Chains A and B, each alone.
Chain A
Amino acid sequence: MLKDLTTALRPAIVLTILFAALLGIAYPAALTGIGSVAFPHQAGGSLIVENGKVRGSELLGQNFAGATYFHGRPSAAGADGNDPTASSGSNLGPTSQALHDRVAKDVAALRNTPGSSVPADLVTTSASGLDPDISPEAAFFQVDRVAEARGVRADKVRRIAEAHVEKPLLGFIGEAHVNVLALNRDLDKQVPQSAKAAE
């Protein structure tokens, strides 16, 4: 028994060090090299850079509060939401009074007419707190507000939103969704906010 243990010492220690070098350093370093050459944009976090300034990542949600923008989902990441240094869901369960109260408040704020339905994803927090997407219904739900705030016709805004609907792969992998940041950037290009001021 003791002999078994003493013979184990050298391989245990040496292989820990060797595998640490191989798997903990060489493996991630090699991939970082491959990534930076073959897929520099993706490897760097799919950053959106405008005039040398980073405006966000294509893959991460941002806070949108103003009426002129489409809003993403409520977020439990960080105190203000959509904080990538504190990714989190709400973790509230199906019998939670706190969840009930939060959703009830958000629904009341969004409803245009009493009793009308509200897209579920617009009043529920995502798993990550960084969900970049909303459902197409949630986007269309906001078209009138955005159009009014920008002083343009609703059908124009709706067409822009429709162009951003991504369909499920092969019809069954994933769900139809709209990337909110991409949609809002496109919106700024096609119907700039200054347009209203100019009218």
Chain B
Amino acid sequence: MTVQGWMLILVFTLILVALAKPVGLWLFAIYEGRRTPLHTVLGPVERGFYKLAGVDPNAEQGWRRYALHMLAFQVATFAFTYFILRFQDLLPLNPRGLAGQSPDLAFNTAVSFTTNTNWQSYSGETLSILSQMLGLTIHNFLSAATGIAIAFALFRGFSRKQANGIGNFWADMTRVTLYVLLPACLLYAIYFIASGVPQTFLSSVDATTLEGAKQTILLGPVASQEAIKMLGTNGGGIFNVNSAHPFENPSALTNFVQMLSILAIGAGLTYTFGKAVGNTRQGWVILAAMLAMFVGGAAITYWQEAGGTPMLHQLGLAGGSMEGKEVRFGIAASALFSVVTTAASCGAVNAMHDSLTPLGGLIPLFNMQLGEVVIGGVGAGIYGFLLFAILAVFVAGLMVGRTPEYVGKKIESREVKLAVLAIAVLPLMILGFTALASVLPMGLAGPLNKGPHGFSEILYAFTSATANNGSAFAGLSANTPFYNGLLGVAMWIGRFFIIVPVLAIAGSLAAKKVHPESAGSFPTTGLLWIGLLIGIILVLGGLTFLPSLALGPIADHLAMIHGQLF
């Protein structure tokens, strides 16, 4: 470990905190449907879209209608992308003559991008330019916008008084896309191009290396997808190795900016929540609880990675493990990136997580198992976190005998049941499917590494899919009908079986009266509350997943320090 490494983590965290308020204020303006300077240019586009689609943006939707309209849109965009991927060989902009994806792979990929997971069973190099742009880039925007829309709907649930509606899905989704994601990505992509990220419709160039060999260099519209891939916490790269590829992430500076952009909107939404419920302290305490867990995780992973592995030390290599890491980033920035990308539901990687040390890799795994509520994916992070907040006030209410209340709303049995229902999806999918794959021959054919690390590869895959992350212990051969199918189901359920209960909670809360804070309410702005939140999240996650972690990373660690190889 070096002073520079700790500096990196510290400065990164401070800049992130500084970004929360400005980003949160911008999002708040969009949440409220206010006019912004961008409306001069994009206002006509927004109105034109509504007109053609027959949408009245001011029509309030109850939670059922909001949910059904949201789901209908997901199914439509899923089908659109499925057919593009399935038949890319028949479509234009495929100069390298790539074949269409098989049915199970196209299903997996389309689900993966619809659910903001961006798990890559395919290798990015096998997709045509059209598939990348039209099939995948649009989902990067729309799945991110959907996540933020759901968060907005939940915020309205907390802030409205005896209301029937929780907003309009079409308006929320369209506004977030047009006034937040699109303009930000335009600027961001131009920065990427200036830094060396390709942006061209040319798909490949042949080079003759210095030693006279032929090297085929793949190009494409990389920068345009890279920008939304990070900002929308999507994570699906144009290339197989994602943000480790020099064309996706050319320098240490682009790497630093990428890490910030993964968490910027998620951090901003905590501030937006505070504004929405009329007390910005409510937002800041959430961010504080998130950051405490984030910094803790980053410290552990950095400590482990900088320590390296006994096996490589015995072979005469000094320092941390460089297997699966890039020289321009080094140990600290690789460790930090792996924690950032799994704290959010991003899943972009700048180092191969499969080659991380066992405990260094445990943190990304555990981050995802907690439901990615450590800042989290855009929208998904904050609505996931608020589920835990509902449980926390409920537990606090049980302990001290007070009526559970949160930001002025009474939390009753319906909300608690729905929150538990949503949170239970994680262990059900992750542990259920991992168990299945660990006993079936089709599942056991997957892992590359032997011993406990092979189990970690399976566990990581189902964790990543259910939590809609998309990063991988990439040694697993996941492009089989078995894994494509099962992972696709895990991604869909992991996304929408959480979103629908969240919307139900929003509807139920919106209908309630607001109770002004009294001496009888449990204060949710202090240190005690932060401690309780972290406690609930870690205890629930720990109780649920520690046994599986013991079989994977912890067993792997014990084997490693005893010099056992597999």
Contact = CB atoms under 8 A, between A and B. Distances in A.
Interface of A: 1, 4-5, 7-16, 18-20, 22-25, 27-28, 30-32, 34-36, 38-39, 42-48, 53-66, 69, 73, 80, 82-97, 99-100, 103-104, 107, 111, 115-118, 120-121, 123-135, 168-169, 171-175, 177, 181, 184-185, 188
Residue of A11, A36, A103, A117 contacting most chain B CB atoms (<10 Å): A11
Nearest to A60: B246
B4 A171 contact: yes
8 contacts: A38-B190, A46-B198, A88-B240, A120-B321, A124-B325, A126-B244, A130-B245, A174-B333
Contacts of A120: 312, 317-322
B55 interface: yes
Contacts of B8: 172-173
A89 B354 contact: yes
Given A94-B358, A117-B317, A47 B252 contact: no
Interface string B248-265: 001111011000000000
Contacts of B196: 42, 46, 58-59
B517 interface: no
Contact of B328 (A20, A43, A85, A133): A133
Given A90-B323, A117-B318, A177-B328, 14 more contacts: A11-B73, A19-B141, A23-B177, A31-B193, A45-B198, A47-B217, A59-B246, A65-B211, A86-B125, A89-B244, A89-B354, A93-B355, A100-B565, A124-B321
B249 to A, nearest CB: 9
A4 B169 CA distance: 12
Contacts of A126: 244, 322, 324-327
Interface of B: 4-5, 7-8, 11, 45, 49, 52-55, 64-65, 68-69, 72-73, 75-77, 80, 123, 125, 133-135, 137-138, 141-142, 170, 174, 177, 182, 185-186, 189-190, 193-202, 204-211, 213, 215-219, 221, 223-225, 239-241, 244-247, 250-253, 255-256, 309, 311-312, 315-331, 333-334, 349-352, 354-358, 448-453, 456, 473-475, 556, 559-560, 564-566
Nearest to B7: A172
B258 to A, nearest CB: 12
Contact of B210 (A95, A96, A127, A188): A188
A100 B311 contact: yes
Contacts of A172: 4-5, 7-8, 11
A169 B252 contact: yes
A95 B453 contact: yes
B453 A94 contact: yes
A7 to B, nearest CB: 8
A20 to B, nearest CB: 5
9 smallest CB-CB distances across A and B, nearest first, come from: A174-B252, A175-B330, A127-B244, A91-B475, A89-B352, A8-B72, A24-B134, A35-B199, A93-B453
Contacts of A107: 315-317
Given A4-B69, A34-B190, A34-B193, A128 B241 contact: yes
